Chain A
Amino acid sequence: MDINSYNTYKKPTWCPGCGNFGIWIALKTALSQLEIETHKVTIVFDVGCSGNGSSFIKCYGFHGLHGRSLPVAMGIKLVCDNTKVIIMSGDGGALGIGVGHFIHACRRNVDMTMIIHDNQVYGLTTGQTSPASEKGYKSKTTPLGVLEESVNPVLLALSSKCGFVSQGFSGQMNHLVDLMKSGINYKGFAFINVFQPCVTYNHVNTFEYFQKRVYKLEETDYKTDDYNAALIKAQECGDKIPLGILYSVERETYEEGSVYTDLSKNLSPDNINRNIFELLSEFE
């Protein structure tokens, strides 16, 4: 598949140097390498700089409400088995306003892939603090520094029983493409947290900041199927930041466990009317 087949007529409007470019190109590359055609993938976007990407990728797209991308994605996947479902959200949408949905999506395990564009700041609303901002981070809304501890997205996903937890960096394109491919191929809810420097508003967690700290788990003897090891590894988010798959195990998906046999039937135009005569007998 030609990577340009995923382009729309609209050119990206992100700031020059924005980490979103890396994620955008990585996703298109992953889709093309997996030979997923544009009509076979549905991407649900949150609102924010990540969500603006909705206009730049050709596919079945849904650019919903801030923080609500996960429920929309779940609704799509539970009735439509012939599409891959990918969620694109910022750290604000996923870990702030929509964090409730995130926890439930992890434990629910519907077969879809969530990618968080984690830049530790609210970009589109011009630089306020985010739940992923480090303690002490100064922003327009926290001139004296953030007083709260930051949310650790991979640790949160693990504790919520997510079966595929991983971390990438927009500055390491090839590695990110591989992560996305693994996530999309994973049967169940796959979570990829992607560090993505905001060049305009976040002057702490910069490209250089991450470049200095990240290392690849694949280059160590780390095993990805040990839950307790993953819990410990996930807490590494200071001087050293692990990239790669922190945890990946097989789990029964929500769809497999549910009693609904053939959901695609619901979409058939001929099957729309049901006979409820038998149901009515209870009310006689």
Chain B
Amino acid sequence: MYDIDWKIAGVGGMGAMGVGLIFSKFMMRTGYWVVDYNEYNSIIKGGHNTFQVRASLEVNYCVSSKVDLLIALDEYSLIYSNSLKNDSSVILCDWELIKDKTVVDRSRVVDVPFSVINKSEGGDEIMKNIIALGASLALIGADIDICVDILNEQFGKKGDLVVEKNIKLLKAGYNYILGKYRNYMVLFTRKHGMYKTIEPSDKRYLITGNEAIALSSVEEGLGFFAAYPMTPASSILHYLASISSDYNFVVKQTEDEIAAINSAIGASFAGARSMTSTSGGGFALMTEGLGLAAITETPIVVCVVSRPGPSTGMPTWTDQGDLRFVMHSSQGEFLRVVLTPSDPEECFRLTKVAFYLSEKYQIPVIILTDKYIAEGHWSCRIDLNITTASRNSLISQVALDRIETYERYSDTPSGITPRSLPGMKKGEYLANSDEHDNYGINSEDASNRLVQLNKRYTKKLARLISELPTNKIYGNKDSKNAVITFGSLKNQVLESMKTNTNFKYMNLRCVCPFPTSEVNSFLDGIDNLFVIENNYIGQLAGLIREYVGRAPNYQLLKDDGRPIQYEEILDFMKKNGY
């Protein structure tokens, strides 16, 4: 089975990220399943960027800690040479630029003089990355025609000259390998397997979690989106802003996150499907608004893309440390849903669920992801035929005309009261952040308070529970060893499962309301519970204790800003008899 782990690294501004994405796309277009992962610092120029791609013929879930091909655009990038996979793995770099020649084994190096080629081909300083890309494609034995197409698409907007220059440099890098290192190429492909173009059996798209959420929200009829820039959630704002005029919805960069959520609630009150997105720090500012949506029973979708905290923390890195925070944020007690998609495909599906549940039950719904899936690309199928609901829980003008007086918050068997929209005759009401009566008017009456609480929480919850996304069970269902994770960790666990099949596994894609009965029956009769989380104190394990009364036998926790590698999971399992 052919697969390749490819990595490019360089100083920020050298274009490692740019060509990394081109390589990802190239591999997907030529028929491979692709996942990529990038690392960068919270600065614009300088720092160090890496972009790693895993491409394979069978479905893959995450990148490896080892690479077959490392492209080092600068000397510092050679620190990754310790992650070379085996003796056929190579480093592609400009040997001339390496001052300390002792840091790597020269026999591992495929020397491509980026600077010399760049100069002779008339390239710009920042185009060395394209030479490296061309060389790496030659090395794995790939045909570059498809890559030329991608460059055309990528740089087309910048004019023919830029496109031509890039293609020229791509070919120069490619031809350099064919001329000087043909034997190396033969060696690499012999050891590694021959690369070939496959006709994909189905349509695939290379998208990030953030893009998937944005696309899905547009399909769901997004009418208003407001946000304040915050890494790693900003690309949702960027993408939606870029298409809003063509698709007729409002995108507003507000003065802060407080304005973002409050304006989204206002737009939703007026009838538009509304969403906002942020990361933990911005969500901290939104928490009061979350409760406002709850007590006024105004639908709102909030996307929280997690990064390591507390405070400013590590802006460009990943973690799962905001689980408890999004579940418990805002004063008082109210019904909310927290969905935790595991990859872009699930981001796409669950965003639809978020809009549906939010509008139908008139509650806030949070989509909790993390930087790892928000900014990494996965090749995935996007099912455009998922049937989506029409508007829900709205009252029509005809119905308003028929009734004597409209009571926006009257108690109903489902707890859901159809809402009117500004402009509708006889539909006037007060959406009130104070506790209120059937009309929305302030009420501090004890019995009314209990009726409203029961309506907003208990009654809605009773129906909602049957509409929540269920959690699939993977692996050996008879195994006495169980593994539970939530959100993005599914990727690494499923990748581990290719090697170790002796456990059963559940990934939670909805953590609130907590799927108590599902988890209970999953854990029934097991000997060992193993909980894996990308955070420091084990918040999911705490929830399982709280709701199911079961403590984990094993916990693998990590919160250094990096995703847990699937190899770490395999090692941990080996050590502990899983």
Contacts and interface: CB of A to CB of B under 8 A. Distances in A.
B441 interface: yes
A72 B382 contact: no
Interface in A1-52: 8-10, 37-40, 42, 44, 47, 52
Among A71, A83, A272, the one with the most B-chain Cβ atoms within 10 Å of its Cβ is A71
Interface residues of A, number: 59
A276 B384 contact: yes
A280 B382 contact: yes
Interface of A: 8-10, 37-40, 42, 44, 47, 52, 54-55, 58-65, 68, 70-76, 78-80, 82-83, 100-101, 104, 258-263, 265-267, 269-277, 279-280, 283-284
A274 B428 contact: no
B375 interface: no
B245 A260 contact: yes
Interface residues of B, number: 70
B250 A78 contact: yes
Contacts of A63: 430-434, 440
Interface string B273-307: 11000000000000011001000100000000000
Contacts, number: 207
A152 to B, nearest CB: 21
B272 interface: yes
B428 A75 contact: no
B267 A78 contact: yes
Nearest to A107: B255
> When A and B form their complex, which 9 residue pairs have the shortest distance between CB atoms, in order from nearest?
A75-B266, A75-B263, A272-B221, A266-B223, A71-B262, A72-B266, A75-B267, A61-B430, A80-B270
Given A59-B428, A65-B433, A267 B272 contact: yes
A265 B248 CA distance: 8
B376 to A, nearest CB: 14
A75 B274 contact: yes
Contact of B223 (A8, A58, A61, A267): A267
A82 B215 CA distance: 29
A64 to B, nearest CB: 6
B514 interface: no
A47 B433 contact: yes
B517 interface: no
Contacts of B474: none
B289 A273 contact: no
Given A68-B262, A79-B223, 18 more contacts: A9-B439, A59-B428, A60-B428, A64-B433, A65-B289, A72-B266, A75-B270, A76-B422, A80-B270, A80-B423, A83-B270, A101-B258, A267-B223, A272-B220, A272-B221, A272-B390, A272-B391, A273-B388
Contacts of A61: 428-432, 440
Interface in B444-500: none
Given A79-B224, A101-B255, A269 B391 contact: yes
A71 B266 contact: yes
A100 to B, nearest CB: 6
Interface in B216-264: 218-221, 223-224, 226, 243-245, 247-250, 252, 254-256, 258-260, 262-264
A7 to B, nearest CB: 12
Contact of B248 (A10, A261, A279): A261
A68 B288 CA distance: 10
Contact of B384 (A10, A68, A277): A277
Contact of B206 (A52, A73, A283): A283
B423 A39 contact: yes
B436 to A, nearest CB: 8
Interface in B345-404: 382, 384, 388, 390-391, 394
12 contacts: A55-B432, A60-B429, A63-B432, A71-B259, A71-B263, A79-B250, A80-B422, A83-B270, A83-B422, A101-B259, A270-B390, A284-B205
